[in-house]
Amino acid sequence: MGAALSNDTDFLKGQVKVLERVAAGAPLDEILSEIVSLIEAQERGLNCAVLVLVDDAIHFRSGCGTRLSPASSKAPDGPAIQEFYRKACNQAARRAGLIDVPDIANDPAWASESAMASAGLRSCRSFPVLGAQGEVLAAFAMYYDRVGDLNSARSEVIAIASHLTAIAIERDSSLRRLRDSEAQLARELASAKQLQEISSRMVEENDDDALHDSIIDAAMSLMDSDAASMQLLDQRSGALRLLAWKGFHPEAAAYWRQVEAGAASTCGQALVSGERLVTEDVETCAFMSGADDLEAYRKSGLRAVQSTPLLSRSGRLLGMLSTHWRRPRGLSEAEARSLDVLARQAADLLERTQGKTALAKSETSLRQIIDSAWEYAIITLDPEGMITSWNAGAARLLGYEPGDILGRSGDILFTPEDREQGAPAWERCKALTDGRAANERWHLRKDGSRFWGSGVMLRLNDETMGTLKIFRDRTDERRADERQQVLINELNHRVKNTLATVQAIATQTFRGGDVDPALQEAFQSRLVALARGHDILTRQSWERADLRDVVDSALEPFRAHHEDRFDVQGPALAFTPSMVLALTLILHELGTNAMKYGALSNRNGRVEVGWSLDVQKEGALNFHWRETGGPLVTEPTHKGFGSRLIERSLRSDLTAESMISYRKDGLLMEFSIPLSRLEDAPLFQNVPPPPLES
């Protein structure tokens, strides 16, 4: 079609120059302009243009076209390939082949392109520029100022134009990917530093509100967002409460002050699902359509939002972290990774805040409880015995205010004589070793007065390794106990004197000679038995007595001569005073009868005394006296005083149901006492029954 304008040497030099520019990293548009100029120099009347395929692989942009008029150079720029099928260059790119248009003016596909004709462009040859993998990178268009056959164009020129253009575009793409990678790496490094700074601040900073703001700032920076918010889940109501925010319109912030589960907002929906939710465009979001939440987004100028649930390390939902943008957009994988790390930190912060709040409430509640116990002095001491805490009850009881006593030795609460004997150190040592130490002693107040303190010292099972001392003023009770003991001792003394007087009177009365000596002995022994019962009750301050002690005491006179002939077994429990005296007399009568007529009247007989608890239905204490190995037993023809005494004691004092069997091999007596009869005498729990004795 036209003669060549440059020789092969110049053409080769031009190619080398282009490659050098590519290697030097020159801008793509400049390199493409040099390629176009190099190709245009090969033939007269030739104008070239390069259309580069953009990243979406659908649209082209003008790469260069230095000699085309502005109108013609803009003609193929921008629109989608589907809309430019009729254009030769686009057809070439789509078909990945050579496309010739010998006469643009008379080609129906170009009839609307008047700019081409006005620019003097009469014909066109277009071909695709392919990458190393065969993908289309661009379209190279060669426009001529004449109509005619295009086959005369040099094929090597087309090949070189395509090759140089492909090298330039692929090199530019590689450089852009490298720059993007470096930029992404720099952003991720900056994000990591920012997240590390937040972690450090969470360790060092105690101002939770300031840390909430730091989380918000970090979220906006990491996500390149225009707004952000952090919400706390109210565990009682199940709603999200706004903790911190930036970028909202004040009315929108007020609207989102509390968000219910299922609300028409991203955070409300994420609260229901428990998973991150991304809304790329609120205007096209189905669940926001027509909702007040959409108006709140609009008022703040927001178009996109993501909400990430904040979960504790055990998986419990704590709150929500959200970021918002003023343009529609999604969330990249890199952003999601950074957001996950930030969400972990935010969740840790919320969990720490909740823990601190709960601890503060607990400490306040504990302090209120301790201070409300105004009757009790509650004190803590360190391992050296220095006072570390002092409640209101201690101030009232001992007279020291906390400021006067904290940090001082707890020994000042002890009397001089107790301090001299080492009581403070002994009490602490026992508490630390055994876990507890009784605190029953006289104490000193600030004014020097004394009171009887009753309580306990306990070991604190915490890192302080200190002790807790709890006691109250029992001075009145102590003095009452002392007075009661004096009265009991006086009563015991008078009872013994009375019994001794009765015994003396009886002895003098029986000396007349008309009274059977056996009756005198029976009377005397009954008085002694009654005295033994009184002795047991005296040791227990007339409150109760262990049944085993009662039995042993009653059998003692008979065991003196028959120690190995008694078997006694039964659980430990307590009897009331009236029951003690009644059982003592019953056992005395049974023992006396056994000595005279039963198992203890010969050398081989034995006596078994036992009792057990039957907790079925209303429950009962079952007691038995069983004789074996004695003389042949026959039922008496009349009841003596002893039998009547036993029956009256069982019926009146023990409310017992009884049965006496005069078996040939020995007497058997059984009786049952209702457990309700023992209500005033608590059972000794966790005490094993005594071993079988003989």
pLDDT tens digits, 484-503? 777 766 666 666 666 666 66
For the chain, the maximum distance between any two Cα atoms, rounded to a whole number of angstroms, is 178
Q: CA 444 to CA 418: how far, in whole Å?
A: 11
- Going by pLDDT thresholds of 50, 70 and 90, the confidence category of residue 473 is very high
- Model confidence over 91-103: pLDDT tens digits? 555 555 777 888 8
Q: CA 5 to CA 491: how far, in whole Å?
A: 146
CATH number for the region 205-357 comes to 3.30.450.40
* Range picked from 219-223, 411-415, 496-500, 640-644 for highest mean pLDDT: 411-415
- Residues 557-571 have a mean pLDDT of 85
Using DSSP, state whether 686 is helix, strand or coil. Answer: coil
pLDDT of residue 128: 87
**Using an 8 Å Cβ cutoff, are 282 and 294 in contact?**
yes
Which CATH architecture best describes the domain 516-678? 2-Layer Sandwich (3.30)
In this predicted structure, the answer to whether residue 119 has a pLDDT above a threshold of 80 is: no
pLDDT of residue 269: 96
- At a CB cut-off of 8 Å and minimum separation 6, what does 102 contact? 123, 147, 148, 149, 150
Which CATH architecture best describes the domain 8-177? 2-Layer Sandwich (3.30)
In this predicted structure, the answer to whether residue 432 has a pLDDT above a threshold of 50 is: yes
Other beta carbons within 10 angstroms of residue 613's beta carbon come to 15
CATH number for the region 373-472 comes to 3.30.450.20
Other beta carbons within 10 angstroms of residue 282's beta carbon come to 22
Burial class (CB in 10 A: 0-12, 13-18, 19+), 144: buried
Q: CA 495 to CA 500: how far, in whole Å?
A: 8
- Model confidence over 512-539: pLDDT tens digits? 656 556 555 656 666 666 666 667 766 6
In this predicted structure, the answer to whether residue 686 has a pLDDT above a threshold of 70 is: no
pLDDT of residue 81: 31
Dihedral pair phi/psi, residue 261, rounded to 5°: -60, 135
pLDDT of residue 151: 64
**Using an 8 Å Cβ cutoff, are 694 and 565 in contact?**
yes
Q: In terms of Cα–Cα distance, which of 306, 246, 235, 218 is closest to 270?
A: 306
Q: CA 509 to CA 503: how far, in whole Å?
A: 10
- Model confidence over 244-297: pLDDT tens digits? 999 999 999 999 999 999 999 999 999 999 999 999 999 999 999 999 999 999
Burial class (CB in 10 A: 0-12, 13-18, 19+), 533: buried
What are the strands of the beta sheet with 317-325, ordered from one edge?
Answer: 258-259, 240-246, 227-233, 317-325, 304-311, 277-279
Pairing outcome for strands 606-614 and 566-569: parallel
Q: CA 688 to CA 647: how far, in whole Å?
A: 31
Instruction: Tell me the CA end-to-end span of the chain in Å, nearest whole number.
Output: 141
pTM: 0.45
- Residues 675-688 have a mean pLDDT of 52
